[in-house]
Structure 1
Amino acid sequence: MNELTTASPIMRNREECEQRWFYGGGQFTWLATAEETGGAFFLFEDIMEGGKVTPLHTHPADETMYVIEGEILVHMDGVEQRVAAGGIMFAPRGVPHAFTVVSESARLLDLHTPGTCQAFYLGASEVVTAEHPASGVVDFDKIAASAQANGGIEILGPPPFAPR
């Protein structure tokens, strides 16, 4: 390993990764944490039900989402576009964006570079266990509280999408 980095080698299967229920809806599989990558990035898989929506927000990191399955409607800097399986969304740091799942479900690969947003997601989620399954009531107040306490996201307003 290069002496200039604090990153750790990572080799594991999906079932070895931490599973977390996000208070904004969805189940995360944490694939590579900021600690493991020396802060270079934070990578997770996100599985969501149809209708899941995010508030309009920004990040202090770039966010790249690759749609593995399903379809999302992305609102970025005032423009809306559908992104289906095989498509990508890139939100540069500081650019206002939001998304909603328009298919029955969606599965995304989400990459934050650098990994500065991880503390927000940690504070806005809980480990999936038998007592805490991978579902629950969406709680935007807990998301706002984590944003306030941990940074990593700035909530600008409610979801910008018209009711469907």
Structure 2
Amino acid sequence: MSTVHIPPGEGRHYPMIDGDHVAKVAVRDDCGAFEVFEVVAPAAPMAPPHVSPWTGVLFLLEGRVTAVVDGTSYEVEPGGVVVFPAGTPSTFGVVGESARFVAITSGDGAGKFFADFSQSVPAGQPVEESMAAIMSVTQRHGVAMAGQMVE
């Protein structure tokens, strides 16, 4: 692994229904892999809890969010952190107008999921109208809505 520097505002943008996910870096070395994203999320209805095959860490920079992890709700303010363990039903919702946070995910699957999701599911369309596309993408990446089996 060599040194990587990503200036502010740069990175690959993945516009999704819950915000713009900007891929900052993917690290893979002898110790494992993780990815770092900057997420700018607008106020929107909270997505249903979903189960991912990777662990995610949300470090809030601006705004406020409510995170729900395995049925427990956490109010997160700037400087706060919440962990979404792999295989655990989790979601978040923005409290107020918007929020900005750093998301760090274990492994190298989240970036592939975000890329596929942003290409396959229209960001400006209501979730109800996008459900078939959402289910197709989640199935391809081992993500499931809470209550479904992850294959």
Provide TM-score, normalisation by structure 2: 0.81
Q: How does 1:116-155 map to 2 (within 5 A)?
A: 116-126=109-119, 136-139=124-127, 140-141=130-131, 142-151=133-142, 153-155=143-145
Deviations 1:80-136 (A, max 9, x none): 12111111111221111111111211001111012222221111014xxxxx9xx62
How far residue 48 of structure 1 moved from its aligned partner, in angstroms, is 1.1
1:40 maps to what in 2? 33
Contact 1:74 1:99 in 2 (8 A): yes
| Structure 2 unmatched runs, 5+ | none
- Select which of 103, 111, 118 maps to 1:110: 103
Runs of 4+ in 1 over 4 A off after TM superposition: none
Contact 2:48 2:146 in 1 (8 A): yes
- Select which of 18, 21, 24 maps to 1:28: 21
Contact 1:61 1:114 in 2 (8 A): yes
How far residue 154 of structure 1 moved from its aligned partner, in angstroms, is 1.8
Q: As a proportion of its length, which structure holds more helix? A: 2
Q: Which has the higher contact order (CA 8 A, sep 6+)?
A: 1
User: Which structure has the greater CA radius of gyration?
Assistant: 1
Provide TM-score, normalisation by structure 1: 0.75
- Select which of 5, 9, 16 maps to 1:11: 5
2:146 counterpart of 1:156:
yes
In 1, the alpha carbon distance for the partners of 2:126 and 2:64 equals 20
Contact 1:72 1:99 in 2 (8 A): yes
Q: Do the aligned partners of residues 147 and 60 (structure 1) sit closer, same or farther apart at CA in structure 2, a change above 3 Å counting?
A: same
Deviations 1:6-46 (A, max 9, x none): x4431121333112211x2311211013xx53560111111
Percent of matched pairs sharing the same residue = 25
Give me the CA root mean square deviation: 2.1
Q: Aligned pairs, how many?
A: 140
Q: As a proportion of its length, which structure holds more strand? A: 2
In 2, the alpha carbon distance for the partners of 1:8 and 1:32 equals 12
What letter corresponds to residue 139 of structure 2 in structure 1? Q
What letter corresponds to residue 7 of structure 2 in structure 1? N
